[in-house]
C-alpha cells in the first residue's frame, strides 16, 4: 500500500478533510468512509505517533471519574469498552484490577465499595464479571507483595487493556483506506483555506516528496490532539485557546519481586493522592502515569528524572520487596493529553470528556470547520460517530448511519477469533511464542504477513538471535509494513506497525537488521538504510533507553 498524492488532489471533490491520524482522527476517517463520504486523512507524522502512542494502553470506564460525578462519561466509556472487546479481540482484552485500600487512603473501603457498585450498575450490559471486595488478609493472599502496613482491604474489578494502542489507530486508518479514504502521512497542514467566511480546504506540505498541495472539502475536522491550536493559528483563528494539555509519563521495567501476576494494581500515591497503575504489559510492567500541566515543546516530550523517581518511589512503597532503582528502568515514554484549556485547578480535575467544537456556532468567519478537544482511547469510536453525524448535518446529506460498532477492525475479522488463533499456531510453521506474537499484533491478518516472506525462509526468522518474546521481529513484518500498512520510515515499522520498538531494548537490537531487510527487499540504498537507523536512534533517545544509558556510562 504505497503512499502517493493523487495528481488531481486540488480538484478532487472530497466531502471531508480530517487533520490528524491519531486514534480519534483515524476513527473519524474510518466511520466517514464506511458511510460513503469521500475522505482525506492528513497527518504531519505517522499514524498514531502523537498522544495515542503515549497512553497507558487501557480501555477503561474511568472509575475515578465517578468522584467528579461524570456518570455520563463513565457509562459511555463502559459501553465502548464492550464494543471494542468485540470488534478488536486481538488488540483489546479483559484485564483484572486490584485496588488496595490503606488507612492513609483518601477513599476508604465504604467509598470504594459504593464506587464499585456504581461501576457495575453503569456497565449493566457488560460481558465481564462484577466486582469483588477482599479483606486485608484475602488481598495479601491474592497479592503477597503488597505492603501490609495499614492495609484495610482491596477491591477487584475488570476493565480491559489495549496492549498496542498504536495498532488500533493503524487498523482504523487501514479500514478507512479500504473504504476509499485517501490517507497521507508526513503531510503537514500549513494553512486553512477560507472563502466567503468558511473554511473550504487546506494547504499542506509533503514532508517526504517535497512540494505543497491544496485540497478542498466543505467540511474540515481538526483533530490534531495537542496541536489543535497550532493548526488553528495557521488558519488565522482569533478565538480562545482550546487545548491545555497535561503531561503523562510512564516507566517500563522487567518483572520484579512482589509484582502482580496476572492483574494490574490501581494504587493511590501516598505523596499526592493521585491514582496510578502498575500493569502487566508486553511481558513486562508498565508503571504510570503522572499528570502535570505542560507548556513545552509538543514535538519533543520526555520523562524527567523527577517523574521517574516519583513512579519508582511509589511502586517501592506499595510493593516493598520490589526494590526498584533507576537502573531497573528499561525505558520511559511521555505524552501530552489534549485536554480542554483550564488555567486553574488540579490537573487531575480537568474533564476527560471530549468536546466537538463547531466553530460555525461560536466564531466567525469559520464555517466548515470543526475542532476536537480531548478524547480518550476508550471512547474514540463514539467520538467519531458523533463527529461524522455532525458532518452529515453540515453537508445536508441523508445519513446511512454508523456501522463501526458492528464491523470488526481488519485484524478482528473472524467469527471465532480463538479458533482462528489456534489454527494459525498449528499451521504457521512458527514457534508457538512467535505465532502468538503475530496474532497479538496483526490478528487475523497474521497469515498475510507470512505471505510477504514468499519462498524466502530468512524472512520468517527473528532478526535478532537475542530477541525475546515481546520483540521477536521477523523480516516479513518489515516488508508487510511498507507494502500493506502504509509505513514510510524505519521508525514507523518498529514503533507503530510491528511494535518491536516497545520491546525491552526499544528495537535497538533489530533496527540495523530491519533496515537491511528493507535494503534487500524494498530497494533501499545503503545510504538510506544507514540514515533511517540514525534517525530512529536519535528519536528513541527521548525514551531514555537502558542501552543508551550504558553506552554513555562507558564513554564517560
Instruction: Summarize pLDDT for 210-239 with one digit per residue, the tens.
Output: 999 999 999 999 999 999 999 999 877 778
d(CA 236, CA 364) in angstroms, rounded, equals 11
Question: What pLDDT is recorded for position 72?
Answer: 87
Residues 425-450: tens digit of each pLDDT: 999 999 999 999 999 999 999 999 99
- Residues 382 and 493 placed together within one structural domain of the fold: no
- Residues 276 and 425 placed together within one structural domain of the fold: no
pLDDT mean across residues, the chain? 93
Residue 43: CATH number of its domain: 3.50.50.60
Residue given cell 475479522 in the structure block: 413
Residues 288-320: tens digit of each pLDDT: 999 999 999 999 999 999 999 999 999 999 999
In a domain, 9, yes or no: no
Average pLDDT of span 182-196: 95
C-alpha cell at 62: 474511568
User: Over 70: is that where the pLDDT of 18 sits?
Assistant: yes
Among 300, 320, 343, the domain boundary falls at: 343
- Residues 319 and 380 placed together within one structural domain of the fold: no
Residues 251-267: tens digit of each pLDDT: 999 999 999 988 999 99
In a domain, 122, yes or no: yes
Question: Where does the pLDDT of residue 555 fall: very low under 50, low under 70, confident under 90, or very high at 90 and above?
Answer: very low
Residue 461: CATH number of its domain: 1.10.8.870
Residue given cell 508457538 in the structure block: 432
- Residues 181 and 45 placed together within one structural domain of the fold: yes
Question: Where does the pLDDT of residue 465 fall: very low under 50, low under 70, confident under 90, or very high at 90 and above?
Answer: low
In a domain, 401, yes or no: no
Question: What pLDDT is recorded for position 341?
Answer: 86
- Residues 531 and 496 placed together within one structural domain of the fold: yes
C-alpha cell at 77: 466509556
Question: What pLDDT is recorded for position 409?
Answer: 98
Question: Could you tell me which residue, 108 or 95, shows the higher pLDDT?
Answer: 95
| Short-list 545, 478, 544, 461, CA closest to 505 | 545
- Evaluate the omega torsion of the peptide bond into residue 271 and state whether it is cis, within 30 degrees of 0: no
Kindly tell me the sign of the dihedral angle through the C-alpha atoms of 336, 337, 338, 342. negative
- Residues 103 and 252 placed together within one structural domain of the fold: yes
Helix 23-34 with 380-395: angle, nearest 10 deg: 50
Among 365, 395, 425, the domain boundary falls at: 395
What radius of gyration do the chain's Cα atoms show?
23
- Residues 191 and 285 placed together within one structural domain of the fold: no
Question: What pLDDT is recorded for position 471?
Answer: 55
d(CA 310, CA 271) in angstroms, rounded, equals 9
- Residues 324 and 464 placed together within one structural domain of the fold: no
Question: What pLDDT is recorded for position 4?
Answer: 81
C-alpha cell at 346: 488540579
- Evaluate the omega torsion of the peptide bond into residue 365 and state whether it is cis, within 30 degrees of 0: yes
- Residues 174 and 199 placed together within one structural domain of the fold: yes
Question: Where does the pLDDT of residue 470 fall: very low under 50, low under 70, confident under 90, or very high at 90 and above?
Answer: very low
In a domain, 81, yes or no: no
Residues 117-140: tens digit of each pLDDT: 989 999 888 889 899 999 999 999
Q: Give the predicted TM-score (pTM) of the model.
A: 0.95
User: Over 90: is that where the pLDDT of 201 sits?
Assistant: yes
Question: What pLDDT is recorded for position 311?
Answer: 98
175-200 CB burial, b ≥16 within 10 A, e <16: bbbebebbbbbbbbbebbbbeeebbb
Say how far residue 197 (Cα) sits from the centre of its chain: 35
In a domain, 67, yes or no: no
> How many domains are contained in the chain?
3
C-alpha cell at 508: 535497538
Question: What pLDDT is recorded for position 352?
Answer: 72
Tell me which residue range forms the domain holding 449.
415-555
Residue 138: CATH number of its domain: 3.30.9.10
Residues 487-519: tens digit of each pLDDT: 999 999 999 999 999 999 999 999 999 999 999
Q: Is 116 exposed, middle or buried (0-12, 13-18, 19+ CB in 10 A)?
A: buried
- Residues 548 and 518 placed together within one structural domain of the fold: yes
User: Over 60: is that where the pLDDT of 364 sits?
Assistant: no
In a domain, 267, yes or no: yes
In a domain, 39, yes or no: yes
Per-residue CA distances from 377 to 28, 30, 123, 225, 486 (Å): 13, 15, 18, 12, 22
Question: What pLDDT is recorded for position 353?
Answer: 81
Residues 382-394: tens digit of each pLDDT: 999 999 999 999 9
C-alpha cell at 502: 516497545
- Residues 460 and 536 placed together within one structural domain of the fold: yes
In a domain, 71, yes or no: no
- Residues 498 and 362 placed together within one structural domain of the fold: no
Among 319, 343, 367, the domain boundary falls at: 343
User: Over 70: is that where the pLDDT of 244 sits?
Assistant: yes
Write the secondary structure of 4-54 as one string of H (helix), E (strand) and C (coil): CCCCCCCCCCCCEEEECCCHHHHHHHHHHHHCCCCEEEECCCCCCCCHHHH
Q: Check: CB of residue 455 under 8 Å from CB of residue 467.
A: no
Average pLDDT of span 462-468: 68
Amino acid at each position: 500500500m504505497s503512499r502517493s498524492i493523487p495528481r488531481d488532489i486540488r480538484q478532487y471533490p472530497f466531502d471531508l478533510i480530517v487533520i490528524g491520524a491519531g486514534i480519534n482522527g483515524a476513527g473519524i476517517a474510518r466511520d466517514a468512509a464506511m458511510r460513503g463520504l469521500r475522505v482525506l486523512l492528513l497527518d504531519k507524522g505517522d499514524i498514531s505517533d502523537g498522544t495515542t502512542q503515549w497512553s497507558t494502553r487501557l480501555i477503561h470506564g474511568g472509575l475515578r471519574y465517578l468522584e467528579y460525578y461524570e456518570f455520563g462519561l463513565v457509562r459511555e466509556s463502559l459501553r465502548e469498552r464492550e464494543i471494542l472487546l468485540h470488534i478488536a479481540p486481538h488488540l483489546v482484552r479483559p484485564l483484572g484490577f486490584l485496588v488496595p485500600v490503606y488507612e492513609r487512603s483518601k477513599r476508604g473501603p465504604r467509598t470504594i465499595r459504593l464506587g464499585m457498585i456504581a461501576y457495575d450498575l453503569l456497565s449493566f450490559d457488560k460481558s465481564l464479571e462484577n466486582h469483588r471486595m477482599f479483606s486485608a488478609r484475602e488481598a495479601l493472599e491474592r497479592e503477597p507483595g503488597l505492603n501490609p502496613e495499614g492495609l484495610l482491604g482491596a477491591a477487584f474489578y475488570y476493565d480491559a487493556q489495549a496492549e498496542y494502542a498504536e495498532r488500533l489507530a493503524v487498523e482504523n486508518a487501514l479500514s478507512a483506506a479500504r473504504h476509499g479514504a485517501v490517507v497521507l502521512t508526513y503531510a503537514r497542514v500549513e494553512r486553512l483555506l477560507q472563502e466567503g467566511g468558511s473554511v473550504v480546504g487546506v494547504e499542506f506540505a509533503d514532508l517526504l516528496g517535497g512540494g505543497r498541495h491544496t485540497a478542498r472539502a466543505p467540511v474540515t475536522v481538526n483533530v490534531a490532539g495537542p496541536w489543535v491550536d497550532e493548526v488553528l493559528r495557521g488558519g488565522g483563528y482569533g478565538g480562545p485557546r482550546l487545548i491545555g494539555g497535561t503531561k503523562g509519563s510512564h516507566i517500563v521495567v522487567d518483572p520484579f519481586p512482589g509484582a502482580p501476576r496476572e492483574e494490574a494494581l490501581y494504587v493511590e500515591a501516598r505523596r499526592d493522592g493521585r491514582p496510578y497503575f502498575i500493569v502487566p504489559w508486553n511481558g513486562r510492567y508498565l508503571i504510570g502515569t503522572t499528570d502535570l500541566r505542560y507548556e513545552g515543546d509538543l514535538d519533543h516530550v520526555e520523562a524527567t528524572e523527577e517523574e521517574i523517581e516519583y513512579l519508582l518511589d511509589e511502586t517501592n512503597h506499595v510493593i516493598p520487596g520490589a526494590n526498584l532503582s533507576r537502573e531497573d528502568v528499561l525505558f520511559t515514554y511521555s505524552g501530552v493529553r489534549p485536554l480542554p484549556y483550564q488555567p486553574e485547578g488540579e490537573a487531575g480535575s480537568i474533564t476527560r470528556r471530549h468536546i466537538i467544537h463547531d466553530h460555525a456556532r461560536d466564531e466567525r468567519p469559520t464555517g466548515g470547520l470543526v475542532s476536537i478537544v480531548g478524547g480518550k482511547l476508550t471512547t474514540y469510536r463514539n467520538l467519531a460517530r458523533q463527529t461524522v453525524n455532525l458532518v452529515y448535518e453540515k453537508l445536508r446529506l441523508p445519513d446511512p448511519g454508523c456501522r463501526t460498532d458492528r464491523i470488526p477492525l481488519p485484524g478482528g475479522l473472524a467469527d471465532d477469533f480463538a479458533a482462528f488463533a489456534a489454527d494459525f499456531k498449528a499451521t504457521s510453521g512458527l514457534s508457538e511464542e512467535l505465532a502468538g506474537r503475530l496474532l497479538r499484533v496483526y490478528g487475523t491478518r497474521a497469515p498475510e504477513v507470512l505471505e510477504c516472506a514468499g519462498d524466502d525462509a530468512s524472512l520468517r526468522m527473528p532478526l535478532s538471535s537475542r530477541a525475546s518474546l515481546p520483540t521477536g521481529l521477523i523480516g516479513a513484518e518489515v516488508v508487510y509494513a511498507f507494502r500493506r500498512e502504509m509505513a514510510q520510515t524505519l521508525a514507523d515499522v518498529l514503533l507503530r506497525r510491528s511494535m518491536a520498538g516497545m520491546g525491552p531494548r526499544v528495537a535497538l537490537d533489530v533496527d540495523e537488521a530491519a533496515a537491511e531487510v528493507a535494503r534487500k527487499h524494498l530497494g533501499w540504498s545503503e545510504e538510506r538504510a544507514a540514515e533511517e537507523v540514525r534517525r530512529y536512534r536519535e528519536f528513541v533517545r527521548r525514551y531514555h533507553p537502558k542501552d543508551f544509558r550504558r553506552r554513555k556510562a562507558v564513554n564517560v
